Amino acid sequence: MARYGMVIDLHKCTGCGACALACKTENNTQDYSNGKFYNWANYLTFTTGKFPSTKVVTIPTLCNHCSDAPCVEACPVNPKAMYKSPEGITLHNNDRCIGCQRCITACPYSDKDINAAGVQYSVINYLPSDDYTHKLWRDKTELIPGCTASGDEVAKKAGSIPPNMNEFSDPDYQPVRRNDIVEKCMLCRHRLINNELPYCVVSCPAQARIFGDFDDPNSEVSKLIKMYPAKQLKNNKGEFLAPGETGTRPNVYYIRDYNDAITSVKDEKYPENNRTMEKFIKIYPNPVEFFTNVNCTIPKDGIYSFIIYNSAGQIVETVMENKYLTVGLINFQLDAKKLPSGTYICVLRSKDFVQTENLIVSH
C-alpha cells in the first residue's frame, strides 16, 4: 500500500502558472466555460493586508487525493465512478459516471459554478451535455487576425482532435472527453505507471511541487512534512485546516508559508531536490516594450518546440515547432510589439524536457 500525494513549498512557488499550463497540455482539459474551470492543476492568488502593508499570496492547488474522500462516498453508482486506487489516488472512471455531480457537492474543494460560489477554482468539474468538451479545437478565432492560427486550423492541420496527443493515455480517461460527466486530476496515473512524475511536478520551474508516498518514511515528502510545520487546505477559498482539524485528510501539504510561523525554519536546512535549478531560458530585456532577445540552453540533442502562451493558457506564438536541435545555445529575437501588455509564459519543450520563463510585455 502507498499514500501518494504532494508537498508544495510556498517559498519556492513564484506563481508563474506553469503547473496549470502543463496539466492542460498533458491532459487536454478544456478552457474555462460558464462558471466551470477545467484546470486540474491551478493556483490561487490574492492579496492580504492594507496598502502599503500588502502581500500577494499564491497557493498552487490540485485534487487533495483525500484519505477520507467524501466524493467517493457520495458517488452513487456501483462500481463507483469516483474511487480510490491502492496507492490512495482518487480516480474517476468516465464510463461509469452518470454526471450526477454529487461528488462536486460533497467535495469541500469543489463548486458547480465558481462564479456563483465566488471562488477561484473547483477540483471537480462537470462537462455539460450541450457544450463541446474541447471547444478550443473548434474555435475559428485567430488571436492575432491574419497572423496566428485558430484552434480549428491547428486541429485540421494536425488531422485529429485533439492535436496534442501524449505518449501515454489513462485507462479511465480518453483524450477527447465525453459530455455529461465530471472530471478531475488523477495525479497523472498514466505517467506514474510508466515511471514518470506527474506533469505539473516535472514542469514547475521552481520545483515547488514535490510528489511522493507519505506511507514511506524515507520519501522526500515524508521527510519534508517532518522537517517543516505543514498544513493542508480546508476548502477552495484558500483557508487552511486549523491545528487539530483533520477535515477530509487531504494528501497535499503546504510548507514554508510566508504568512505565518512556518517561515521560522531556516532555508539552509532545506534539502534541495536532485533536479537542477539551472535556468535554460534567458530573456533580456524583460519586461519588454518592443523587441527582446531569447537565449535557450539545449541540454541534449532532440526535437524541440518553443511556444508562448498568454496567462489564459492560449498559444499566442509558436516560435519553433518540432525542430531538431543539438546541444548548445540558440538565440533569437522576439517582437513584443504585436502582443498586448501582460504576462506571457515561454515554454521550451522536448519529449522529456520542459522549461518555462515568464515574459512581461509592457506598452
Residue 106 · residue 121 · CB < 8 Å:
no
Residue type, 146: G
Q: Examine residue 233 and tell whether it contacts ligand SF4 (CB under 6 A).
A: no
Query: Rg of the Cα trace of the chain?
Result: 21
Q: Of 355, 249, 271, 277, whose CA–CA distance to 5 is shortest?
A: 249
Residue 101 in the binding site for ligand SF4 (CB under 6 A): yes
Cell numbers given for 358: 515568464
The region of 70-78, 171-179, 212-220, 262-270 touching ligand SF4 under the rule CB under 6 A is 70-78
Size of interface with ligand SF4, in residues (CB under 6 A): 43
Interface segment toward ligand SF4; rule CB under 6 A; list 59-67, 321-329, 339-347, 348-356: 59-67
Q: Of these, 13, 16, 59, 63, which contacts ligand SF4 (CB under 6 A)?
A: 63
Q: 27, 133, 286, 356: which one contacts ligand SF4 (CB under 6 A)?
A: 27
- Single residue of 28, 90, 125, 133 touching ligand SF4 by CB under 6 A: 90
Q: φ and ψ at 117, to 5 degrees?
A: -80, -15
275 C-beta neighbours (distance < 10 Å), count? 11
179-218 footprint of ligand SF4 as x/- string (CB under 6 A): ---x-xxxxx---------xxx------------------
Measured from the CB of residue 41, what is the shortest distance to ligand SF4 in angstroms? 3
CB of 348 to ligand SF4, least distance (A): 18
- The number of beta carbons lying within 10 Å of the beta carbon of residue 305 is 15
Q: Select from 23-31, 164-172, 272-280, 348-356 the region that touches ligand SF4 (CB under 6 A).
A: 23-31
**Distance in angstroms (rounded) separating the CA atoms of residues 13 and 267:** 14
Distances (CA, A) of 79 to 62, 76, 96, 249, 280: 25, 9, 8, 23, 47
The one segment of 94-102, 216-224, 267-275, 344-352 that binds ligand SF4 by CB under 6 A = 94-102
With binding defined as CB under 6 A, does residue 70 bind ligand SF4? yes
Q: Does 62 bind ligand SF4 (CB under 6 A)?
A: yes
Q: Give the count of beta carbons closer than 10 Å to the beta carbon of residue 173.
A: 21
Grid coordinates of 116: 456563483
- Which of 68-76, 143-151, 284-292, 297-305 is the region at the interface with ligand SF4 (rule: CB under 6 A)? 68-76
Residue written as grid cell 469543489: 110
Of 3 and 294, nearer to ligand SF4 (C-beta) is 3
How is residue 251 written as a grid cell?
494528501
Helix then strand then coil, % of the chain, to nearest 5 = 20, 30, 50
x/- contact string, 129-168, with ligand SF4 (CB under 6 A)?
----------------------------------------
Instruction: Assign 31 to helix, strand or coil.
Output: coil
40 binds ligand SF4, rule: CB under 6 A: yes
Size of the chain, expressed as the number of residues it contains: 363
How many C-beta neighbours within 10 Å does residue 3 have? 19
Residue type, 221: V
Residues of the shown chain interacting with ligand SF4 in the complex, contacts defined by CB under 6 A: 22-23, 26-27, 40-41, 62-66, 69-71, 74-75, 77, 81-82, 90, 92, 97-103, 107, 109-110, 123-124, 182, 184-188, 198-200, 248
